[in-house]
Amino acid sequence: MAFIQLLSTWLIPITIAFILLYGTVKKVPTYEAFVEGGKEGIQIAFSVIPYLVGMLVSISIFRASGALDYIMNGIKPIADAIGLPAEVVPLAVVRTISGTAALGMTTDLIATYGPDSFIGRLASTIQGSTETTLYVLTVYFGAVGIKKMGDALKVGILADILSFIVSFFIVLLIFGR
Amino acid sequence: MVNLIWVAMAVVGIAFAMMSGTMNKVNEAIFQSAKEAVTISIGMISILVFWLGLMKIAEEAGLLKRLAALFKPLVRRLFPEVPPNHPALGYIVSNMVANMFGLGSAATPMGIKAMEELKKLNSHQEEASRSMITFLAINTSSITLIPATVISIRMTYGSAAPGEIIGTTLVASTISTIGAVCIDRYYYWKRTRKGGKR
């Protein structure tokens, strides 16, 4: 545990030092290159705005209206019937749509059922092993102005479903119910 | 499909609010989330400027090329359309490495830069290319070595072993990444079969 904490605090500063030293050794005009590269960041951030506003507003309407909760409650009995933990299935769905909502749900599940329960471990694994697909697609495609996502969304969602199923079985296998 | 999901979430939400009397909350949410989106985007400027600046040094020093060369056999197979030695590969690899270590703030700028490089190779300027779809499939299911946020939540709630989910997370994310690549390849196969379009 101590090692992991040490690693996560040291990793970024060490990476920075390494790149700076490497650049100096290779005779790169480091400061000038930094400024030149950094300029691009400003433009990228601005071009993301319309994509992110559109997506987050739509998601928030869906959440605030109570429609998301309603659907999640509808899913629970179905999940129960096929042997999946009804408490965690909503998290799997929300994880794909909204990062903040998923983090809230994970925290809630861990607080309610305990971090070392089956549900707590499964929620932790789901939260840790997938990304918020919709957010990632919005930001990455938005940053470079791609409007047609093609099959990216389908692939992303199917991968999320797979990830949930794998998480369920691996937690079951390693820790048991 | 994005259009459909986007409209459906908003329209279903508004219709639901009509019936359940949550219109007040919806109104509030619209303006709050629009504001939040702008805050997030503007907030990204700091990390984007910093990491893109730093990565520019790494690129000019040839560090990205070396990183890409290290993972060449893997990356070449995943992105057959990207010419070898193209800067996109270096950014793709650095994004993957940053993601593995849970360095989200560094991973996003590198990923965006990778997308930009991939766009230069793309003849359809507003449409996602094959490489972009593969890249995002890997990115959304990224292999995670250290799920730092989850570990800290588990600590807060008094877990006896906060780090015990590292193993399950690693296995789940690895299998789902492999799965994502297979799904991506399946859709690519379907697209090419449907008349040679990418």
Asked whether the beta carbons of residue A163 and residue B173 sit closer than 8 angstroms, the reply is: yes
For residue A140, which residues of chain B lie inside 8 Å, CB to CB? 111-112, 115, 136, 139
What is the pTM for the complete model shown?
Answer: 0.86
* pLDDT of A2: 67
* pLDDT of A130: 85
Q: A43 and A73, same structural domain?
A: no
For residue B180, which residues of chain A lie inside 8 Å, CB to CB? 155-156, 158-159, 162
Taking residues A16-43, what's their average pLDDT? 94
Does A74 touch chain B if contact means CB atoms closer than 8 Å?
no
Structure confidence by residue, pLDDT tens digits, A138-148: 999 999 999 88
Q: A96 and A30, same structural domain?
A: no
Q: Which sign does the torsion angle of CA A49, A55, A60, A61 carry?
A: positive
Cβ within 8 Å of A, B 144-163: 144, 146-151, 153-154, 157-163
Q: A82 and A12, same structural domain?
A: no
Distance CA A68, CA B104 (A): 27
Instruction: Examine residue A43 and state whether it is found in any structural domain, yes or no.
Output: yes
* Of residues A16, A115, A170, nearest to B54 (C-beta): A16
Chain B contact probe: residue of A53, A93, A129 with most B CBs at under 10 A: A129
Percent with pLDDT over 90 in chain B: 60
Look at residues B31, B36, B29, B32 and name the one whose alpha carbon lies nearest to residue B13.
B29
Q: Is A45 exposed, middle or buried (0-12, 13-18, 19+ CB in 10 A)?
A: buried
Q: Which DSSP category does B124 fall into?
A: S
Q: A166 and A93, same structural domain?
A: yes
The structure tokens 């659907």 sit at A71
Mean pLDDT of chain B: 90
A75 pLDDT more than 90: no
Q: A153 and A117, same structural domain?
A: yes
Stated as kind and residue range, the H or E segment containing A77 is helix A67-81
ipTM of the shown complex: 0.87
Contact (CB, 8 A) for A136 and B136:
yes
Mean pLDDT of chain A: 89
- pLDDT class of B31 with cuts at 50, 70, 90: very high
Instruction: Examine residue A1 and state whether it is found in any structural domain, yes or no.
Output: no
Nearest residue in A to B185, CA atom: A155
Instruction: Examine residue A53 and state whether it is found in any structural domain, yes or no.
Output: no
Taking residues B116-142, what's their average pLDDT? 90
* Type of residue at A28: V
Distance CA A133, CA A151 (A): 13
Does A174 touch chain B if contact means CB atoms closer than 8 Å?
yes
- pLDDT class of A4 with cuts at 50, 70, 90: low
Q: A14: Cβ–Cβ under 8 A, 6 or more apart, which residues? A: none
B44 pLDDT more than 60: yes
Does A6 touch chain B if contact means CB atoms closer than 8 Å?
no
**For the packed helices A67-81 and B2-20, what is the interaxial angle rounded to 10 degrees?**
100
Asked whether the beta carbons of residue B57 and residue A23 sit closer than 8 angstroms, the reply is: yes
Nearest residue in B to A159, CA atom: B180
Does A128 touch chain B if contact means CB atoms closer than 8 Å?
yes
Nearest residue in B to A124, CA atom: B150
3-state secondary structure of A17: helix
3-state secondary structure of A148: strand
Q: How many Å lie between the alpha carbon of A9 and the closest alpha carbon of chain B?
A: 10
A12 lies in which domain range? 7-48
Q: A127 and A98, same structural domain?
A: yes
Does B168 touch chain A if contact means CB atoms closer than 8 Å?
yes
For residue B103, which residues of chain A lie inside 8 Å, CB to CB? 11-12
Instruction: Examine residue A139 and state whether it is found in any structural domain, yes or no.
Output: yes
Domain count, chain A: 2
How many interface pairs between A and B have CB atoms less than 8 angstroms apart? 348
Q: A154 and A86, same structural domain?
A: yes
Asked whether the beta carbons of residue A33 and residue B175 sit closer than 8 angstroms, the reply is: no
* Of residues B53, B112, B150, nearest to A44 (C-beta): B112
Taking residues B104-131, what's their average pLDDT? 89
Q: A109 and A38, same structural domain?
A: no
Structure confidence by residue, pLDDT tens digits, A85-113: 888 988 988 888 888 889 889 999 999 99
Does A161 touch chain B if contact means CB atoms closer than 8 Å?
no
Q: Is A95 exposed, middle or buried (0-12, 13-18, 19+ CB in 10 A)?
A: buried
Look at residues A87, A104, A96 and name the one whose alpha carbon lies nearest to residue A59.
A96
Instruction: Examine residue A92 and state whether it is found in any structural domain, yes or no.
Output: yes
- pLDDT class of A83 with cuts at 50, 70, 90: confident
* pLDDT of A98: 84
Distance CA A128, CA B178 (A): 17
The token duo for B170 is 């690693």
Distance CA B114, CA B92 (A): 6
The token duo for A76 is 């629970």
Instruction: Examine residue A137 and state whether it is found in any structural domain, yes or no.
Output: yes
Taking residues B36-47, what's their average pLDDT? 90
For residue B111, which residues of chain A lie inside 8 Å, CB to CB? 140
How far from B118 is each of A66, A141, B126, B128, CA to CA, in Å? 39, 11, 12, 9
* pLDDT of B196: 56
Distance CA A165, CA A143 (A): 31
Q: B50: Cβ–Cβ under 8 A, 6 or more apart, which residues? A: A38, A41, B109
Look at residues B111, B151, B84 and name the one whose alpha carbon lies nearest to residue A5.
B151
Taking residues A13-25, what's their average pLDDT? 94
Q: Which sign does the torsion angle of CA B41, B44, B49, B52 carry?
A: negative
- pLDDT class of A164 with cuts at 50, 70, 90: very high
Distance CA A68, CA A160 (A): 18
